[in-house]
Amino acid sequence: MSRGRAIVFAGRDRIELVDISVPRVRPDEVLVETEITAISQGTDRVMVAGTYAGVNSRYPFVYGYSRVGRVLEAGADVSGVRASDRVFVGMAGTRLDPADGLGELGGAYTSHAVVHHADVVVLPDSVSSTTAAICALGAIAYQGVVTSNVRPRSRVLVAGLGAIGQFGALICRLRGAQVWAIDPVPERRALAGRIAGVETLAPDEDLAARIEETAWGNRPWRGRNDEPASRYERMRWEQAAGVVDVVIDATGRTDALDAYLPLVAREGCICLQGYYAAPLMLDFHAAHMKRVTIRCPGGMDLVDYESVLRLVAGAEVAALAGLEVLVDETPTVMRDLLLHPPSGVVSAIVRWRDA
C-alpha cells in the first residue's frame, strides 16, 4: 500500500491537508494519479461552512467530484482503460482506506483515485485537463438543461452566473435556444458574454420588458398568438403569460419559484439547479394556472459528461477556472476562496502535479 495525500474538510470552516493510505487496486479497478481537481465553488462552500443539510455529522470527509489524472495501474479484469491513459473520474468517488478514518463524499480531493474502471472516461488529447475537470460542472448543468425541455427556439432565462449558470447558459445557446442570463456581479456577466456568448442583464432591470425587446421568433406559448375566444379565455391567457419557456435558477435563492414564475409562460419549466438552504415558496394557484413543471436535476452522470465534452469543444470553458490553487496552499488559499470568494471567480482548480 502506497501513501498519498487528501484535502480534508475537517470541520466547519476547516480544511486540512493530510497523508493517507492508497488502497491496493482490485481486479476491476484502476489507480489514477490526480493532476487536477475542479473546485465546485458553490457546493464546496456550503460543505465547508457546514450549511449543507446533514453535513455537520459527516466531518471529517473528503469531498470533490471532478478530477483529471493519469492511470498508473489497471486491474487484471479491466478493459478499455490502460496505464498512462489520461482520464476523468466522476462522482463515483474513490475507495479510501478505512484505517484513515475519513468519510468520502465524492472523494476527488485526493492525490490518487482507486475507482471502478467504469467510473472513468478516457480523455482525447484535444481536451485540456482544465477543460476536462471543469466540464464536470458542465455535466451538472447539462442534465438540468436537457431535462427541463430546452429545445431549439426555446427562450431561456438563466439566473445566477456561477459555474453552473455559465455552463447552463452556454449549453442552452448551443442547443439553439435564445438565452438571457442575469447576475448582480458585472464580472460574471462579462464572463457569460464572453464564454457562453449570451445576452446578459442585471437582475434589477425590468426583465420581462428587456426580454420582450430583444426576443425574436415564436412567443413561448402558442395560445397567445390567436385571439381569445371568450373573456374567460382572455383571462386564462393573461394568467398564463410569460416571456420565457424555461428558467434555470442557479442562485439557490429561496424565493426563486415565486420570483421566476411570472416570467415563465404556460407549460414552461423552472429548473432548480441551486442549493436551497431554506424552504421554497410557491404560489400554488399561479403554478397550477401555468401548468408549470418544477425540475430538480440530480447531479452528474458520466453520459452527460461525455456529451458536454463534445458539445462545448469550441468554447473557452477553461477560462471559467479563474484561479489555480497549488495543493500545498489549500488549507489557507482554498479556504479563503470558498469563504471569501473574489467576485469575478466562478470556479477554480486544485493542481496536484504538473501535467
What does the alpha-carbon distance between residue 196 and residue 166 come to, in Å, rounded to a whole number? 7
Task: Tell me the one-letter amino acid at 231.
Answer: R
Residues within window 288-307 making contact with another protein, judged by CB under 8 A: 288-299
Residues within window 119-158 making contact with another protein, judged by CB under 8 A: 143, 147
What does the alpha-carbon distance between residue 165 and residue 320 come to, in Å, rounded to a whole number? 11
* Stretch binding another protein (CB under 8 A), from 32-40, 54-62, 76-84, 86-94: 54-62
What does the alpha-carbon distance between residue 124 and residue 4 come to, in Å, rounded to a whole number? 27
Q: Which is nearer to another protein, 69 or 106 (CB)?
A: 106
Q: Which is nearer to another protein, 276 or 333 (CB)?
A: 276
User: Of 226, 310, 340, 354, which one interacts with another protein (CB under 8 A)?
Assistant: 226
CB atoms within 10 A of CB 214: 11
Residue 10 beta carbon to another protein: minimum distance, rounded to whole angstroms: 17
User: x/- site string to another protein, residues 315 to 344, per CB under 8 A?
Assistant: ------------------------------
User: Of 1, 54, 216, 310, which one interacts with another protein (CB under 8 A)?
Assistant: 54
What does the alpha-carbon distance between residue 236 and residue 302 come to, in Å, rounded to a whole number? 42
User: Of 283, 313, 316, 326, which one interacts with another protein (CB under 8 A)?
Assistant: 283
Q: What's the Cα-to-Cα distance from 46 to each of 40, 50, 103, 158, 295, rounded to whole Å?
A: 10, 6, 17, 22, 22
Dihedral sign of CA atoms 122, 126, 129, 130 in order: negative
3-state secondary structure of 67: strand
Write down the residue that cell numbers 479484469 correspond to.
77
Q: Which is nearer to another protein, 128 or 276 (CB)?
A: 276
Q: Is 227 in the site for another protein (CB under 8 A)?
A: yes
User: Of 98, 101, 217, 279, which one interacts with another protein (CB under 8 A)?
Assistant: 279
Kindly determine how many residues on this chain lie close enough to bind another protein according to the rule CB under 8 A: 44
Residue 233 beta carbon to another protein: minimum distance, rounded to whole angstroms: 6
Q: Which is nearer to another protein, 43 or 131 (CB)?
A: 43
* Stretch binding another protein (CB under 8 A), from 79-87, 272-280, 308-316, 317-325: 272-280
Q: Which is nearer to another protein, 1 or 278 (CB)?
A: 278
Q: Is 280 in the site for another protein (CB under 8 A)?
A: yes
Q: Is 50 in the site for another protein (CB under 8 A)?
A: no
* Stretch binding another protein (CB under 8 A), from 123-131, 196-204, 211-219, 271-279: 271-279
Listed residue (253, 244, 307, 250) closest to 280, CA to CA: 253
Residue 269 beta carbon to another protein: minimum distance, rounded to whole angstroms: 9
Counting beta carbons within 10 angstroms of the beta carbon of residue 99, is it exposed (0 to 12), middle (13 to 18) or buried (19 or more)?
A: exposed
* Stretch binding another protein (CB under 8 A), from 20-28, 158-166, 212-220, 280-288: 280-288
* φ/ψ (deg, to 5) at 73: -155, 135
Q: What is the DSSP string of 77-128?
A: T--S--TT-EEEE-TT--PPPGGG--EESS--SBSEEEEEGGGEEEPPTTS-
The set of residues, in sequence order, having a beta carbon less than 8 Å from that of 28 and lying 6+ positions away, is 75, 77, 78, 116, 117
Residues within window 229-268 making contact with another protein, judged by CB under 8 A: 229-235, 258, 267
Dihedral sign of CA atoms 145, 151, 157, 162 in order: positive
Binding site for another protein (CB under 8 A): 52-55, 58, 105, 143, 147, 226-235, 258, 267, 275-285, 287-299
